[in-house]
Structure 1
């Protein structure tokens, strides 16, 4: 898998690089950047994400058979999300999806594309599809608050209650993200509203990233701002806010946007059906408010305790411009049965 090179947007005034050194953590004012993203619009450099392409007439049917999402009816210039599960129903891969009518594009977390590509290659058998690592040639950015790419908003089907009738869920993707060609350069745009405000993803040739970002006409914002807004919207990062034990029902966003509960057989489907119909997941992904007694948010993996028992771990924690310190955390379901439960993580108290 090609490793992403440092983004040209790191040369922008005030840019402070992330620890990985590929994109900006912030551009000098992380809290101001958050506020701008919500109120007037901001552009987020997400060019560190891995990008794959799938071509061939059978691409959607083939991906449909492997993943949790209903993809056979995905129309040209529509997007969605999907998961690849283990045989026991654990989440092994998450990808955002976009089909432009000839190619299905998959973008996933930095460093996760190689494993996803290897899995898909192993599952080709005699299916006439072509898989490519597009990371070196294409880059993703997102922007908020500028509704010029599309007037249509995303559509997400409600998750039916347990023991639902099949007619309760339409035979289309559970989440449909409208999109279209990106007018300023080759590529496409996809509206997700992922941050709780109008949010658009744009894929462009990597060499055109700086020009396309400038043409979007929005102030730059770093990963600090992106994390703060996505945590407030309860949007997880695969492998950061989840772990190797995660099942789809533990993550409310994925259950709503990436899992179709009434489609053909795929690996791990038995676990999905069993948890949905017969029980509850052992854990939940929740948003925590931290009391701020420590000026530094807790690090990834910090244990969470209830009394003298460890009941979970911190995923991403960050300072939000209005909410203070907040975090996404995976916590035992029994520990968060009551909304006013008081938890401890590091030296701070936390509440739901």
Structure 2
């Protein structure tokens, strides 16, 4: 286990660990309120090393990924990246991934419970003449997210200013404490920040240095709270066989101009004929509610709650609601709990922001 030194350092700082997708992950540092405050007013650091990294190499890698997911890879140059969705042939969501294009590879950051599934799924589409190699490099790396309004200031202190102000998912290799790391704009949330990909055996050094520079450690419990409040969908909750990426509010990850890819016909038809029958929304609740609860308006079933979290402002959930029922401001019941539909910043609902994959849409 190449990240053991990192876990020793985190344990000494008060980390409480849980097993997530087979990995030991700090879910809290006993400072959840302070960590969330740091996101709003300073900078926090979250260990996301349990997220998967798939390295795609060989000559056909760009064409292959272009044909297997929703975004336009052929417009990307080394040092650029994008969010993209892997979908089934009927456009049902498999995972929301972030791709970083380098000189000789594409690095895909995928959800913790999707890395082996995606490797197996992608491998089925590599045919005899295709020059594409897939490698799971998750165990060789650590992923840190620097998140918060002052994340630029941390990078400036570390002499890493060259990435500041660049487009979402732009990335570069830099030296930090004699360790070569990849720094990318954005963290997969609507909060400003940066993703750092670090060699696993040097992860403790980099983590310590970031803490010494002023980053507040943030556990996976707060990350989950942030992702629900902001509306980032995840597999097995919002991304399932029941939903397509338009319903999931992931228009910013879809190119409507790039031509054929798996699921493209269904997505194009839904867009052309305004066929999106339900949308993912935030729901402010007056009491806790269980994911899976039915959402109703009057006596009519209009949707289902997919995620729930407690926040400082009260109970909050994500749920799919039928388009015809309404949107922002709609009063609903979630089980027996009263709620109101609200917008969430991560999601987009129209194609006007969807073909600029390198725009800083979430940064």
TM-score (norm 1): 0.84
Distance 1:67 1:5 in 2: 34
2:317 aligns with 327
2:143 aligns with 140
Question: Could you give the per-residue CA deviations for residues 106-146 of structure 1, whole angstroms, max 9, x where no partner exists?
Answer: 11111211111012212121111211111211121101132
Give the paired residue count: 321
Distance 2:73 2:103 in 1: 13
1:231 aligns with 228
**Matched-pair contact (CA < 8 Å) for 2:292–2:304:** yes
Distance 2:5 2:83 in 1: 26
1:22-33 paired onto structure 2 within 5 Å? 22-33=24-35
Distance 2:138 2:272 in 1: 39
Distance 1:7 1:299 in 2: 35
Q: Secondary structure at the match of 1:242?
A: coil
1:263 aligns with 258
**Matched-pair contact (CA < 8 Å) for 1:25–1:224:** yes
**Matched-pair contact (CA < 8 Å) for 2:84–2:254:** yes
Deviation at 1:302, TM superposition (A): 3.0
Please state if 1:348 is matched with 2:320.
Answer: no
2:237 aligns with 240
Which stretch of the first structure deviates more once superposed, 34-43 or 71-80? 71-80
Q: Secondary structure at the match of 2:180?
A: coil
Which runs of 5 or more residues in structure 2 are unaligned?
A: 342-363
Distance 1:12 1:301 in 2: 38
Which stretch of the first structure deviates more once superposed, 124-133 or 18-27? 18-27
Distance 2:254 2:183 in 1: 23
Distance 2:337 2:5 in 1: 35
**Matched-pair contact (CA < 8 Å) for 2:15–2:27:** yes
Deviation at 1:7, TM superposition (A): 6.5
Which runs of 5 or more residues in structure 1 are unaligned?
A: 155-175
1:132-281 paired onto structure 2 within 5 Å? 132-144=135-147, 145-147=150-152, 148=155, 149=160, 150-154=163-167, 176-184=168-176, 185-192=179-186, 194-216=188-210, 217=213, 218-252=215-249, 254-256=250-252, 258-281=253-276
Could you say what the CA RMSD is over the residues aligned between the two structures, in angstroms? 2.3
